[in-house]
Structure 1
Amino acid sequence: MGNLMEPSSASVYDGNLASDRVVIHVTSHQRIDQQILVKWRTKTFIARIVEDQEEWIPQFLTQAANFCGENVSRGSPKGSLGSGTTLRFWIDTWLEDKPFYLLFPDLFKLESYKGCLVKDRCTGGGEFSQWEWSWIRPPSTPMEIQQLLTMLTKIQNVTLSNQDDSWRWNADSSSCFTVKSMRIRLQNASYGPTHWVFPWNKFAPHKVNVLGWRIKMNRIATADQLAKRNISTTLSLCPICKAQNETAEHLFLLCPFVDYLWSFILSWCRVSTQKPCNLKDLMEVHQKANLNHWTQKLFQHVILSYIWVIWKTRNDSIFLTKNPSLRRAIKDLKGTSFFWLATRSNIPDLNWEKWRTFSF
C-alpha cells in the first residue's frame, strides 16, 4: 500500500504501512466529512495492524467505502474465492457486488455464528457444492424461505480449491488499492437520494431550516414513519383532522386544516401560485412564484414559519390535548415569523404594521 499520502500502485496486501498521515484534498464540506472518516479509520487500522494479519486491510476498506455511500462502495474490495479459509461468508463481498448480510438480511438474523468463513459453510471439500448451516431456528417465514431459495440458487455452483483467497480493488484498473482511486471515487460520487440541495433561509432559525429539510426527506416522526421503525403508537390518524392516516405529505399539504392556512398565506402575501403537489415543491414554491429575489426570501421565510406552526399544532394536539384552532395558527404564523425576522435580519424600517400587511 505504501505511503498513504501519495497515490501508490503497490499491492494492498504488502502490509507496509509505516505512515500514520493521510491527506486527501477534497472540494466540498460533505466530501471533507467523508474523508475525515476515512482518515480516522485509517489511523485506527494502522495502529492495530500487525504482521501476517493482511485480512484487516480489505475489511477496513470495505467498511470505509460502504460508509461513504453506494457509489463509493461499488469500488470497495471484492474477494476472489479460493480455499474459503479467510473470506467470511456473510460479511465479506465475495460472490455478488454486495455482502450476503445485505442481500439476505432475514437469513443473517438466523445465523448463529455471523462471522463464519466460507469454508465453515461449504463442506464439499472442493469436489462438489455442499452446504451446511447453523441456524438459531430453521427458516420458516415466507420471506426467509424466499431468501434461502435465492441464496441457494446463487451458490449452487460454488466449490472450493487449494488456492488462497485473494482480494481485488475494483475502483482501479490494476485491481490494487490506491489513495488516488479512492479520492476520484469520492469526487465523482453523488450524495443523497435526489441530489437536491435544501434552500436554507437565514431569517428562520436553524432548527426550522432543519425541520424543513427533514420534512422534504420524509424523516420526521409521523405515524407512518414510526410504524416503519417498529414504534407502536396509539393513534395512526392525523391528530389535526382525525380523518386520514398521518403522513408528512398529508400533514403539510393535504389536511383540510392546512388548506385553509395555505389559502390565508397566499392572500396575506399576495402571491398567486399553485398549491405544491409534493414536499419538494413545498420547499421550492417561493422559487416558482413570480417574485423578485428579495420578496422570494421573505415568502420562503413565511413557508418555513408555516411548517413550524403546523408541526407545533400537531404536537400540541398530541401532547397537550389542545384542539387545533385556525385562528390561533394564523396568529402564531404571523407573530412567530415577525419575531424571527426582527431578531435575525437588518431590514430597514421593519415594523409590525409593515409585516402584518406584507408591504414589501
Structure 2
Amino acid sequence: MEERRKIHLVRWAVICKDKRHGGLGLRYLKDFNHALLGKWLWRFPIERESFWRRVIVGKFGEVQGGWTTREVRESYGTGLWKDIRKGWEEFFLRTRIRIGNGTRTRFWWDIWVGDSKLKDLFPLLFRIAANNSAVVADLWGRQEGGGGGWEVHFRRPFQDWELEEVNRFLGYISAVKVQEGEDFLVWKIERKGTFKIKSYYRSLKEDNSPLFPAKEVWGSYAPLRTRFFAWEAVWGKISTVDMLMRRGWSMVNRCNLCKENEETANHILIHCGKTRDLWNLLFSLFGVVWVLSESVRNLLLEWKMKGLGKKRSVVWKMAPICLFWCIWGEQNRRIFQEEEMSDTSLRKLFLRSLLEWSQQFLDLDLDYLAFRNLLGDRLKSAYAVAKLRKIGYSRQKFYTEAVDLYKEINSQIATSAKASLRKSVTENMYSALKNEIKQRESKWHKVYWEMVEPVVKIRTLRARMDLIFNLHYVNPFVAPMTVEETLSI
C-alpha cells in the first residue's frame, strides 16, 4: 500500500536557523562549508612563510599587502583555491586591519579604521586624492622626537563647501597612529579578535526575524516532545483547521472545544473559553493577575516573573507548555476518539501533569494539596520582598525592622500570645517570614531577648539561633542562655 505523503509543517530554511532566531540549530551545509573554507582565508595572511602558502602564491600571485591571492579568473576547472578565493570579499568585510608600521595596508582600499573602506566613506576626497593606491605608511609623516602625523595630499585645493568634509575626514583618521610592528588582521565579530568558524557561520545566517522566545521554549524543564510542540505553536504551524485549509483541505473551520469561533493556533491555545479556564486556574495557583497576549509568541516572550524562588520558578516556566499540551490533547481526543472530558476532569489533568513534570526535575515528595500550597506560597526572603518595594525600604531599615520582628516574635511566643502576633508586626515582614516562624518556633522559646543591638544582621541572628538550637537539643541539660551570653557568641 502506498504511503501518503506527510505534511512538512516548517520550512527547512527555518529549521536551519539558530535556536535564538526560532530554528532548531541544524547546520545549513552550504553556509557551513563556506565558514570552513574561511579558515584558509584567515591562515593565508598569517602563515606567510608556510610551504602551502608559497605554492598558492607561486600559482596565483598575491595582492598588495599579501592579505590574499589575486582573483582567480580561469574560465574552466574547479580548483580548490578557486572556490576558497570566491569567499574573500564577504570574509574581508568581517575583518579589520590593526595598523603597525602601515606597510601592508592600502590607505583607501582596506578596512583599517572604523568598519568601512575610506574610499566608500569619503568618495569625494578619494576622487581627488593625489595617490589613491598609497599604503598607510606612505601618508604618515614622521617628526623629530618619535611623533608623527597624517600627510594626505590631494590634486587640487579644496572648495569652501568641501572643507567640512575634509575636517570630518581628518578627525576620523586621527584616532589611528602608525607604530612599530607589522600590520595584522583582526576578526571583528569576536571579542578576542581571533577567527572562529562558529562565529563566521552565525554571521552568515543572521537575519531580521522577529524575536523568538528561545529561552522560554528550550530553557524549560518540560518534556522534549512538548517543547517541540511549543516551538511549532510559536510559528503557528500546528495542525489546526485554518492551517489545513490553507494547505488545500476542504472542511468547516470551527473550534472543537468551544464550538463558537474559528480554530487557529492562537485561539485554541490562548483565547478559547475552555483554555481560559485553565489559564485562570494557573494564575490563581500562583496568586498573580496576568493579561494574556494575542499570540503564542508574545505570550511566551512576556512569560517572566522575578522573586518566585528556585522551585516555583521551574514550575512557572513549564506551566504554559504543559497547558498547551493538555489542551491540544483534549482537542485531538474529541476529533479522533470522539470523547470529551468535563471541565473538572480537564483541570485535574492539567494539575496532575504539571505535578508529574515537576517531580521529574525537582526534589518534590508532595501530594496534590502540598503542591498547590507550594505554588501559592509567598516569598520566603524578607529582603527579597524589600527589594520589590524599591522605594523607601533601605537595607538598614530592613535590618532594624527584622531585629524588632524577631524580638516581638520571641516575646509573643514565650507568652503564648500568638493571636496578637499577626497584628503587631508589619504586613510585609509578616507575610515574608510567616513560614519561617513555624519552622523555628521550637527554637525561639529557648532564647530570651531583652535587648538586641540594632546593628546585628539577620544572617548573624539566624546563625546564633542555630547554634543555640544545637546546644540545647544535643545536650538538653545545658541551662538557657541569657541575652548577654547569646550576643557574645
**More helix by percentage:** 2
Under a length normalisation based on structure 2, what TM-score does the superposition of the two structures give?
0.37
Indicate the structure whose relative CO is greater, using CA pairs within 8 Å and at least 6 residues apart: 1
Larger Rg: 2
Under a length normalisation based on structure 1, what TM-score does the superposition of the two structures give?
0.48
